[in-house]
Structure 1
Amino acid sequence: MDGHLNELRAFHASLMAAASGSVDPRLARVFKLVPREAFLPPGPWKISGPDGRYYETPSDDPAYIYQNNIVALDASREINNGEPFLHASWIGAVMLRPGERVCHIGAGSGYYTAILSVLAAPGGSVEAFEIDETLARAARHNLEPYEGVSVTHANATEADIPASDVIYVNAGVLAPPPAWLRALRPGGRLIFPWRPSEETGLAMLVTKLASGKLRARPLAPAYFIPCTGGASARDRLAAAPDAHAAATIRSIWLTSERTPDESAIAAYEHVWFSSLAVE
């Protein structure tokens, strides 16, 4: 069984490294090292199908979870362990380096937190936030073998976010809270699933430049469960953009520092998204 499992992990890791779009040789090793099953309920597992329904695996053979599938953590509440290839692409996009400080918002049971922590080693750290008490407790237990990781049971839209090199958000937001943007160190990266409307959802990568300006780059479509707290539709100052308009965004601004202008693609009470490129 050990040989079979090692073979599964190695093959899955090679696919994850490819999905990351990164040439970082550490990624395949990290994806092989961190066991997905250690962060899931005992098998058989419930797998989310293309129709949105759950399908139970015939057995607890790990072959069923070393695929690009979404596995339920709590099917009754539709809480899942996210799609591996999507997360691989995000991890490749943020280009996490050893020694960096990471804030993981929406840690779930801790699987992707563990991957982030290994990539931040040596010398780095991960502070994870999870709003669900049961999941936070599970993540704390699951992450005990990993160094430099802490788990806080809190709403990250209201908590004190530490100064971070990477903020990795796994809950859909209408607009990132200003505190998240201010917490980015120079050169820091924020990646989050932006959901300006029911029809439009995409990953957004934000980089804080040395000047303090916030460069934004839309990535692939991404749909996550909504983040509790933060901006809501009533904070919107203009109509929600469609997918075509959202793809033109090149920067993010705090309204306290710059008033929305003709380049605004989406605007909220505290934050607005612009087509203006920044250097």
Structure 2
Amino acid sequence: MSTISYSPEVLRAAMVDRIRGVGHASTPAVDAAMRTVPRHEFVPEASTEDAYADIAVVTKRTDDGTALSCASVPAIVAMMLDQLQVQPGDRILEIGAGTGYNAALLAQLTGPGGSVTTVDIDADVTAGARRGLDATGNEQVHVVTRDGSLGASENAPYDRIIFTVGAWDLTPAFWEQLAPGGRLVVPLRWRGQTRSIAFVRDGEALVSDSMELCGFVPMIGQEGERTGAIDTDGLVTLYWDVDQTIDPTKLSGVLDQPKETVWSKVLVGSQDPFDGVWLRMTGHDGRVCRISADPVAVNAGLCTPAIPIRSPALVEDDSLGYLAFRKLGEGRFELGAIGHGPHGGHLAGQLCNEIEVWNQDRNARPTVRAYLTDAPRSAISLDHALSNEAIEKAASRLVVSVSRRSARHAST
């Protein structure tokens, strides 16, 4: 039986149609760029079918198999380009050269009147990006081998900056190199989650105007996130930030202790997002982190988070609570929490309170403001912030705030 083989043009058109079907590539400019740039030319080691499938193509790994560089999932590429809102003639900086595919898309979007500079710390990666860009007629793109945290001051200021690697921190370079009113899109990691945030420069602050949950290969050299297993077989892992006082050794064996389950009476459908619970919690509770359970742990009933690979958890000394759900019927689930340890029941109850607050205004869109750590306190806006305490990183600090309506809900 023969297999039908489709041309790259047909596969590329089908890829963009799928992406538009899930709400991305939402502008004519992004749609046209993705229909024009030949992704398969940037991932020659992949089959043409894989090049246009909605999957990431890993292009470099460490000796232990960890991905160092990849061509991102096309739907995520389109989502972030939508967030970036490139205009013709823009000067653009990309952190994370990857295969060069995203830089080629940016060159299409900014046109001959603009410029694109892409930076990567890995010389093998930049060499590969340069080859792909040259082979597809994008010789005008500047490719720089450098620590991405330094940016590229030689071509600054930039109207748009985009990261295609997961960043834990934002260094002073991005305040210095982003033009007033410019946009910066970055998969930013804090409290165990990664969100693609579109920031707009507003004086001393970078202010979010959109956020999407995502996952990215982490940026080399930013070591602000910690990890640790809490079971003897290494099947359940916590992820937290260096400014948090979480000690996984205190939780060793906690999952073997009796569990306490609390249900919130809040229902969601199979396609309803509930990651807003996690986002709100990061703004006011320094105990929130990420829990990840291997399928073996889930199947054995040792640890059953709502989303096994990434769910919010609360840690207090030797006790743990994490988000869970149970199926009530066809396509209906009840959100709740499971606790272990001396204070596990209390932590599970607090998680349910957070679920209930989120449920009162599910459409609320918290705002994240980023400042440099040396910014004067007078420049930091705490209006509607969920806490008077900022989330501290090495070079920057984050403040999470909500609308007046949501703030009232949080106080009831």
Q: Is the 8 A contact 2:207 2:367 kept in 1?
A: no
1:66 to 52, 60, 75: 52
Task: From the two aligned structures, give the one with the greater strand fraction.
Answer: 2
Bigger mean CA deviation after superposition, 124-133 or 7-16: 7-16
Report the residue type matching 1:223 in the other structure.
G
Report SS of the residue matched to 1:67: coil
Q: Is the 8 A contact 1:201 1:223 kept in 2?
A: yes
Bigger mean CA deviation after superposition, 12-21 or 132-141: 12-21
Between the aligned partners of 1:196 and 1:239, the Cα distance in structure 2 is 14
Higher relative contact order (CA 8 A, sep 6+): 1
Cα separation, partners in 2 of 1:74 and 1:160, compared to 1, 3 Å: closer
Partner of 2:79: 89
List per-residue Cα deviations over 1:187-237 (Å, max 9, x = no partner): 21111111124x32211221113x453212451212212212246359955
Q: Is the 8 A contact 1:20 1:91 kept in 2?
A: no
Alpha-carbon offset, residue 243 of structure 1: 3.5
Report SS of the residue matched to 1:148: coil
Report SS of the residue matched to 1:185: strand
Report SS of the residue matched to 1:157: helix
Q: Are 2:188 and 1:194 equivalent residues in the alignment?
A: yes
TM norm structure 2: 0.56
Aligned ranges for residues 213-232 of structure 1 at < 5 Å? 213-217=205-209, 219-230=211-222, 232=224
Alpha-carbon offset, residue 269 of structure 1: 3.7
1:271 to 396, 399, 404: 396
Cα separation, partners in 2 of 1:277 and 1:243, compared to 1, 3 Å: closer
Report SS of the residue matched to 1:143: helix
Q: Is the 8 A contact 2:161 2:184 kept in 1?
A: yes
2:18 to 15, 25, 29: 15
Between the aligned partners of 1:153 and 1:88, the Cα distance in structure 2 is 25
Report the residue type matching 1:274 in the other structure.
V
Partner of 1:205: 198
Report the residue type matching 1:250 in the other structure.
V
1:108 to 98, 107, 112: 98
Report the residue type matching 2:39 in the other structure.
R
Between the aligned partners of 1:264 and 1:189, the Cα distance in structure 2 is 26
Query: Which is higher, the Rg of structure 1 or of structure 2?
Result: 2
Aligned ranges for residues 128-207 of structure 1 at < 5 Å? 128-144=118-134, 145-146=137-138, 148-161=140-153, 162-197=156-191, 199-207=192-200
Alpha-carbon offset, residue 124 of structure 1: 0.8
Between the aligned partners of 1:249 and 1:266, the Cα distance in structure 2 is 14
Report the residue type matching 1:92 in the other structure.
D
Q: Is the 8 A contact 1:167 1:189 kept in 2?
A: yes
Cα separation, partners in 2 of 1:126 and 1:203, compared to 1, 3 Å: same
Between the aligned partners of 1:13 and 1:158, the Cα distance in structure 2 is 34
Q: Is the 8 A contact 1:20 1:93 kept in 2?
A: no
Between the aligned partners of 2:140 and 2:85, the Cα distance in structure 1 is 19
Report the residue type matching 2:146 in the other structure.
A
Report the residue type matching 1:203 in the other structure.
S
1:245 to 263, 281, 303: 281
Q: Is the 8 A contact 1:249 1:265 kept in 2?
A: no
Report the residue type matching 2:9 in the other structure.
N
Cα separation, partners in 2 of 1:160 and 1:31, compared to 1, 3 Å: closer
Runs of 4+ in 1 over 4 A off after TM superposition: 17-20, 233-242
Unaligned runs of 5+ in 1: 46-59
Bigger mean CA deviation after superposition, 200-209 or 218-227: 218-227
Between the aligned partners of 1:176 and 1:231, the Cα distance in structure 2 is 13
Between the aligned partners of 1:213 and 1:244, the Cα distance in structure 2 is 20
Report SS of the residue matched to 1:250: strand
Unaligned runs of 5+ in 2: 227-240, 247-276, 283-364, 404-412
Report SS of the residue matched to 2:219: coil
Between the aligned partners of 2:84 and 2:172, the Cα distance in structure 1 is 20
Q: Is the 8 A contact 2:366 2:402 kept in 1?
A: no
Partner of 2:356: none
RMSD: 3.0
TM norm structure 1: 0.81
Report SS of the residue matched to 2:76: helix
Partner of 2:357: none
